[in-house]
Amino acid sequence: MLSVEEKIEKSIKSKQRGVLLFTDDFYELGSNKAILKALERLTNKRVITRVARGIYVRPIISEFIGEVLPTAEEVAQGIAKRDKIKIIPTGTHAMNLLGLSTQIPLKLVYLTDGAPREIQIGNRTIKLKKTTPKNLVAKGKTSRLVIQALRELGQHGVTEELENKVIKLLKSEVRKDLENDITLAPEWIRKMMRKAL
């Protein structure tokens, strides 16, 4: 009969490399204690790499740089998928994703309808901040980031150059998504969204 560790290893190896693995993925294979012990052993054997507490990966191996670990963004998306929660990047992170800022934040802040928490990944932190459902109903991939990025900047932080960039970005948004999201933005952001329409 296979041990818990062998069962987990078999399950891990049946998945593609680079897929995030959570402790809960293996709950039917043994007790919580046995699973944690097995994951610890598999980490020591270099079968998997621990990304954060309770989160592992069987890394993709690149012939040039060795282990390729998931980015903090991929981990945040993975947690959202596992917990069936919504997340929206905010602030500097949203600005960076839109190409409005070259600053790469060490702390990625997301609004969520899930439990608030912080997850440490190497030198970066994912912070999930609980918010009202209204802040999460934006449909457009670009427009929802624009609303969050501009909120962070504030009305007086928007230069004419930045406004033009934002309008250009919004013009690529799906029209009906943009029309939906206009109703969710503060008035000063709506003006830019209307220009894009």
Q: Which of 68, 95, 111 is the last residue of a domain?
A: 68
Tell me the C-alpha distance between 136 and 75, whole Å.
19
List, for residues 141-163, the tens digit of each pLDDT value: 999 999 999 998 888 888 999 99
What pLDDT does residue 101 have?
87
| Residues 14 and 90 placed together within one structural domain of the fold | no
- In this prediction, residues 168-181 reach a mean pLDDT of 92
Number of domains the chain is built from:
2
Stated pTM of the model = 0.85
What pLDDT does residue 196 have?
87
Residue 119: CB atoms within 10 Å: 19
Q: Which of 52, 68, 84 is the last residue of a domain?
A: 68
| Residues 11 and 79 placed together within one structural domain of the fold | no
- Is residue 103 a contact partner of residue 97, using CB atoms and an 8 Å limit? no
What pLDDT does residue 6 have?
94
What pLDDT does residue 152 have?
86
Share of the chain above pLDDT 70, in %: 100
Q: Residue 103 pLDDT more than 90? A: no
List, for residues 66-81, the tens digit of each pLDDT value: 889 999 999 999 999 9
In the 8-state DSSP scheme, what is residue 130?
E
List, for residues 38-68, the tens digit of each pLDDT value: 999 999 999 999 999 999 999 999 999 988 9
What pLDDT does residue 24 have?
93
Q: Which of 39, 37, 33 is nearest to 11 (CA)?
A: 39
| Residues 88 and 19 placed together within one structural domain of the fold | no
| Residues 45 and 94 placed together within one structural domain of the fold | no
| Residues 57 and 78 placed together within one structural domain of the fold | no
Tell me the C-alpha distance between 112 and 93, whole Å.
15
Q: In what order do the strands lie in the sheet with 49-52?
A: 20-22, 55-57, 49-52
